Amino acid sequence: MNRPIGIFDSGLGGLTVARRIIERLPQESISYVGDEAHIPYGEKSPEEIQNFALGITNFLLEQNAKLVIMACNMSSATALRVARAHFPQAPIIGVIEAGARAAAKEASGAPVGVLATTGTVRTLAYTKALGKLRPEITVCEQACPKFVPIVESGRWNSDEAKETVRGYVEPLIKKGCRTLVLGCTHYPFLKDLIAGAAGPEVAIIDPSEETAAEAEEILAEAGMLNPPHAEPVYQYCTSDSPEQFTELGGRFMGNTISNARKITWGKELGAIECRDVTAGQRARSAL
């Protein structure tokens, strides 16, 4: 019964989703992968991200995950469809549909701003998802390539972080945005700074809350929620330095991370042949 919920990201960002899952479903176990060997995902090609996402999803399913959450916008935008086609045996969800739903509920008629990585902005995934729900709303997407390195180095409240946040947020406010979506799971680490730069009139949407609600709904419907007093087990893996992940992740997650485990591409994580179901193409890239 105590099968984990699998969660992955390029690094620390997905912990913002893991933390919501722990708050909402404290009886559930988690198996987490941060692919720090390949960070930043937001600066890589969709084909590379698909390969990483398939390899990690496969690993999480081998860990017996009952649900896989792509706690990464770049993966959700480029690899969700491929992963679902490849692994029909388990539900797989992303964060973009959830983020768009949350923003659609919150937004007035004013433009919605999306802060995201270069790669996610390039896909226009939020513009498309929000367009389906609130076609009358203008969406302004802003690439923020400097945020992930700041978060991954633990400089969450530094002067540099404040300055950088201002540089990305102010143009969106000038365009009239009154709702800002944190379109990368790393950005909730900077949420207070972003809210400060945006001002009190602006609603900040963190898709992780709606994602956790969706996870609960799927597991409840499938009768797969753990009983209320089950003892959760948390396993955190990284493809780079477990010491650094434990230190920085621990700062964010409190005592649920004691010892991150190192997993390696080519050993625990392997290449999975990637079938693009619509184009019928087959691709396999070196990892």
What residues numbered 239-278 form the site for ligand DGL, per CB under 6 A? none
| Interaction between residue 8 and ligand DGL (CB under 6 A) | no
- The least CB distance from residue 180 to ligand DGL, in Å, is 15
Site string for ligand DGL, 71-110 (x = CB under 6 A): -xxx------------------------------------
Contact between 34 and ligand DGL per CB under 6 A: no
Looking at residues 180 to 219 of the shown chain, list those that interact with ligand DGL (rule: CB under 6 A). Answer: 184-186
Of 7 and 72, the one with the shorter C-beta distance to ligand DGL is 72
Across 23-51, b (16+ Cβ under 10 Å) vs e yields eebeebbbbbbbbbbbbbbbebebebbbb
Is 177 catalytic? The answer is no
Alpha-carbon 214 to chain mean position:
14
Residue 5 is a binding residue for ligand DGL (CB under 6 A): no
Answer for the pair 40, 148: CB distance below 8 angstroms, yes or no. yes
Look up 184 and say whether it is catalytic. Answer: yes
Number of residues binding to ligand DGL, judged by CB under 6 A: 16
Residue 33, interface with ligand DGL (CB under 6 A)?
no
> Which of 5, 6, 9, 205 is close enough to bind ligand DGL by CB under 6 A?
9
**Closest Cα to residue 126, out of 149, 107, 146?**
107
User: What does DSSP say about strands 261-262 and 92-93: parallel, antiparallel, or unpaired?
Assistant: unpaired
Window of 39-47, 161-169, 220-228, 244-252 that interacts with ligand DGL by CB under 6 A: 39-47
Residues whose CB falls within 8 Å of the CB of residue 273, separated by 6 or more in sequence, listed in order: 282, 284
Total length of the chain = 287
Closest by CA to 157, choosing from 190, 110, 124, is 190
Which whole-number Å values give the CA distances from 105 to 98, 99, 171, 194, in the listed order? 11, 10, 23, 20
Residue from 39, 79, 137, 215 that binds ligand DGL (CB under 6 A)? Answer: 39
Q: How far is the CB of 14 from ligand DGL (least distance, A)?
A: 7
